[in-house]
Structure 1
Amino acid sequence: MNLRIPTIALLASLVTNGAAITLLQAIGNYPQLSTLNTYITNSSNVTNLLSNANNFTFLAPSNTAIADFLTGTKDNVLTEGLLEATVQYSLLRGGYPKLSFTTAPQFPATSLSNASYTNVTAGQAVELLLDSNGAPQIMSGNKSTAGTTTTDIVCTGGIIHIVSEVLSVPMQAVSEFTAAGLDYFIAILNNGGFLNSANAGYVNTVLELKDITYFIPNSAAALANATALASNASSADLQSIFQYHVVPDFVGYSSLLKDGLSLTTAQGSNITITRQNGDLYVNAAKVIASDYIVANGVVHVLDNLLDRNNPSPPPAPTDATPSSTPTPTTTSIPTANTALDKSVPSKGLTTGATIGIAVGAAVGGVLLLAAIAFFFVRRHKQNKRQSGVWSEQSVVGHGEKGNLYRPPRPELVTQEHEMRPGMHSPAPDVPMRSPDRV
């Protein structure tokens, strides 16, 4: 009983003291937030915002974070508008203590709804997750990463985390394409004529819409397919291609892209989301980079172009043991008609079929020549053996050090291009070497 009374008194004291500490007071109590405190004090709009905040998580940039941020601004000055937008973006709606962070990303809405900086109805989002070491990370515009230096500072109405970087307010989608190094996609825009003023109407309309999910093809294969399509496509076809890669009225962060989800694109046809073996697919195209938060939504990067007339999912995984000699495969490049218009009657071979037949004929010819060569070599071996000249050692041969030498077995080498998160440009795909002529 004697132990219980002091405990109750202590809890009551903590509640009383906690209620007395407001968000502004808590910021003022930490020396590493003195620069932020000065900015807040000098801005009536920011002061009012934080004074009235409730049910929040505030990601407060440290003095060092602000100093680093200012080196990238003009004249090392933080304007009133950018200050207010940045503080709004740092004020999350809802409580997110350290223990709520997980390895699965979360995308809470923030208080940033200023139309000059964002065009997302629910409020611009940030990404919260744990890194490989279990440390909290905050991802903002262009995959900028901020760590935490102090967490779970409790005050009236919410929680404060002190962060090591000023959050980056998301930029316009067209700027993100450049900042993220989506070189292949920019080439697709150019080769497809999407940068021409004649097509600015529907392109700009998409870029200015609110609540958009972009699925952006960015690979050598996507560029090759898009270039082939553009050579024969009409203006209406090109518009359909562009709009089929955009989903309006839905900000589809990766956490919302569930297996089997069907989404209607700006073109009018649907795409289907598939999760398979830990990978995310849109139709049969693989997502190779996800969750670039932009001013009016989110961008996901694909390894190939989407085709509205072929919305098939990726091939189902198989447990079958592959044969010792892999079967050569080819990726056909569809013509504009085969990719865009189902109504075109099938009165001839498509480009893809022609390529397939040509490759098949070439492989068949190689196999025939190989069979003939094998027949004569075998006959020659038999004659040698009958004459007592050949032995097992002489058939295999010796290396430089006397070890048995066997010719290396052919192997199929593939290269998968993956766009990594961040601003690094993807390395160009290395073209497959054509087989030596027989």
Structure 2
Amino acid sequence: MVLCKYLALLATVFSASLAQNTTAITDALSALGLSSFALAAAALNGTSGGQALLSTVLSGGNYSILAPNNDAFSQASSLASDNTLLVDTLAYHILRGSFSSSNSSTFNLTSATSPNHTIGRSMLNDSAYVTLEGNASQAVAWTIESNTLVFLNQATNISIVNSTRINGTGLDIYTIDGILSIPPSMSSVLANATNTSSIAGLLNSTMVPSSNGTNDTIGNILNAQRGITLFAPSDSAFSEVSSSLPVLEGNLTAFTTVLQNHIINGSTVYSSEITNGSNFTSAAGEPLTFVTNSSGTYVTSGSTTAKIIATDILSMNGVVHVIDNVFLNIASDSSAASSAYNSATSAATKLASETGIISATAPAASSSSSSSSGSGSSNNAGVASVVSTYFMTSIVAIVSFAVFGVFI
């Protein structure tokens, strides 16, 4: 009865057309045992942000709701006392579009086979939690592990318990056994991820003068970028090249360029957008080329090739992919970098309306033009980038490349 009461309230508040679907929605949530989720959704009516979210989702269109079960909600006491956090958290649990692989009433989220990650765009777009390019909403990533679909970037495994499609609406509901955590800043991601303590220590502990005359860490400067893809060398990768680092000691230009050649700035490039033969442009203006074979996916910068050993580590403003080598590439092309960034900026405006699986063939990627450097194909043009003025002036101010040696 309580569940019916709250669903009827939502129907009354948001649209007459929804009222005729109230019974179907109630039956579906009841069958899935989602009374706590229904109560949380009803609580959103007390905030303008919550009303806007519910109005959008319930007024029509295709959406996939990742609904935490009652046990999951019982472990999240903080949500009950913070309506703003509740709105943003639930927004992160609503995917834009349908991800069904069939027309049956019971199904699992579609999961890509190569790479074995699927990326979808959520409804979370609060600038307090998301600063992606083009004002894009935050992404959710999931994969298949031991025949079970689980969500990535979570402290504990969260998987789908069951699912249903609500007839007469555009809603697909997936019951999950946990509450998804919103991705934190990139520096926090690196500090907490496996095998990235060396680069996290470098970025988060090295203070440099910034463009406004104050000192800041490299990590905070990266956090300030809107849309960034970082190919982060693993701890063992830093150790393996430690003998080569003194050669670059004191060379500020070389240090800046090496760091930029690990970054695509202005674009968040998920693994699902990287295909065999993909080409992107680094923040230094150099090509990043990709090859995928039976042993994995590899990225090349200059004369160095690295294997991507961990992908789709989501952050507030982008994504991290961990690689097994350091790109000691000191080449740069400022013209190519500028052209690539302009192309990325143009393409980013289309991300705000992106629905369904994010892939190399998505309209936002395929419709933009390639940069003058030749990077980008019909599947990924426009994601190349250049480092921003703030980022450039701050990093160039680093006094010595020797800081790498402190953390390896």
Which bracket does the TM-score occupy, shorter chain normalised? Answer: 0.5 to 0.7
Counterparts of residues 154-165 of structure 1 (less than 5 Å): 154-155=166-167, 156-165=169-178
* Residue 154 of structure 1, CA deviation: 1.5
Name the CA shift for 1:59/1:100 in 2 (closer, same or farther; >3 Å): closer
In the alignment, is residue 265 of structure 1 matched against residue 279 of structure 2? no
Amino acid in structure 2 at the alignment position of 1:163: I
* Secondary structure at the counterpart of residue 146 of structure 1: coil
- One-letter amino acid matched to 2:110: F
Aligned to 1:32: 33
* Compared CA separation, residues 92 and 107, structure 1 to 2 (3 A): same
**Alpha-carbon deviation of 1:257?**
1.0
1:185/1:223 contact within 8 Å kept = no
SS at match of 2:137: coil
For 2:209, the aligned partner's letter is A
Q: CA deviation at 1:207?
A: 2.3
Partner of 2:42: 41
**What does 1:112-261 align with in structure 2 at a 5 Å threshold?**
112-120=124-132, 121-133=135-147, 135-139=148-152, 141-142=153-154, 145-155=157-167, 156-181=169-194, 182-189=196-203, 195-198=206-209, 200=216, 204-225=220-241, 228-229=244-245, 232-261=249-278
Percent identity reads 24
* Correspondence for 2:110: 101
Map of 1:278 onto structure 2: 295
Which digits, 9 at most, give the CA deviation of each residue in 1:290-315, with x for residues without a partner?
1101111111001111122589xxxx
Tell me the amino acid that sits aligned with residue 186 of structure 1: A
Name the structure 2 match of 1:50.
54
3-state SS of paired residue (2:179): coil
Tell me, in whole angstroms, the C-alpha distance in 1 between the residues paired with 2:44 and 2:254: 51
Answer with 93-102 or 19-28: which moved more: 19-28
C-alpha distance in 2 between matches for 1:285 and 1:116: 34
Whole-angstrom CA distance in 1 between matches of 2:84 and 2:279: 39
What is the distance in 2 between the residues matched to 1:171 and 1:234? 33
Cα displacement string for residues 76-122 of structure 1 (whole angstroms, at most 9, x for unaligned residues)? 85522221111111110111233552343211111111111111233
Instruction: Please list the CA deviations of residues 99-152 of structure 1 after superposition, one character each: whole Å capped at 9, or x if unmatched.
Output: 55234321111111111111123311112333322x33233x457532122212
TM alignment of 1:340-359, pairs within 5 A: none
Alignment match, 2:382? none
**Correspondence for 1:111 among 108, 112, 123:** 123
Partners of 1:62 and 1:165 within 8 A in 2:
yes
Contact 2:312/2:321 (<8 A) preserved? yes
Stretches of structure 1 that go unaligned for 5 or more consecutive residues are 1-15, 312-428, 430-438
Q: 1:248 to 1:52 in 2, by over 3 A?
A: same
In structure 1, give the amino acid aligned to 2:226. Answer: K
- Alignment partner of 1:89 is 2:98: no
Q: In the aligned structure 2, how far is the partner of 1:166 from the partner of 1:260?
A: 37
Tell whether the 8 Å contact from 2:185 to 2:315 is kept in structure 1 after alignment.
Answer: yes
Give the letter for the 1:107 counterpart.
Answer: I
What's the TM-score, normalizing by structure 1?
Answer: 0.59
CA drift of 1:272 comes to 1.2
Deviation for aligned residue 1:262: 1.6
CA positional deviation for 1:157: 1.9
TM-score by length of 2: 0.63
Q: Is the 8 A contact 2:281 2:288 kept in 1?
A: yes
Q: CA deviation at 1:212?
A: 1.3
| Kept after mapping to 2: 8 A contact 1:221/1:304 | yes
SS at structure 1 position matched to 2:297: strand
User: Which AA in structure 2 matches 1:184?
Assistant: S
2:404 aligned partner:
none
Answer yes or no: is the 8 Å Cα contact 2:187–2:203 preserved in 1. Answer: no
- Aligned ranges for residues 364-383 of structure 1 at < 5 Å? none
**Residues 142 and 129 of structure 1, relative CA distance in 2, 3 Å threshold:** closer
- For 1:92, the aligned partner's letter is L
Q: 1:108 aligns to what SS in structure 2?
A: strand
Instruction: Tell me, yes or no, if the aligned pair for 1:214 and 1:245 is still in contact at 8 Å.
Output: yes
Note the C-alpha offset of 1:47.
4.5
Checking the alignment, whether the CA contact within 8 Å between 2:254 and 2:330 is kept in structure 1 is: no
- Give the whole-Å Cα distance in 2 for the aligned partners of 1:301 and 1:17: 45
- Give the structure, 1 or 2, with the largest relative contact order (CA under 8 Å, sep 6 or more): 2
**Pair member with larger Rg:** 1
Q: Are the equivalent residues in 1 in contact too, given 2:199–2:233 (CA < 8 A)?
A: yes
Instruction: Give the strand-richer structure, 1 or 2.
Output: 2
Whether the aligned pair in 1 keeps the contact of 2:95 and 2:122 (CA below 8 Å) is yes
Does structure 1 retain, via aligned residues, the 8 Å contact 2:207–2:218? no
Aligned residues: 289
What corresponds to 2:366 in structure 1?
Answer: none
Aligned counterparts of 1:271 and 1:18: Cα–Cα separation in 2:
52
* 1:65 corresponds to: 72
Shift of 1:189: 4.2
Amino acid at match of 1:306: F
CA distance in 2, matches of 1:245, 1:285: 11
Shift of 1:282: 1.4
Does the 8 Å contact 2:66/2:94 carry over to 1?
Answer: yes
Aligned to 1:434: none
Counterpart-to-counterpart distance in 2, 1:217 and 1:80: 39
Gaps (5+ residues) in structure 2?
Answer: 1-16, 101-106, 211-215, 333-407
Could you report, residue by residue, the CA deviation over 1:373-417 in whole angstroms, capped at 9, with x for unpaired residues?
xxxxxxxxxxxxxxxxxxxxxxxxxxxxxxxxxxxxxxxxxxxxx
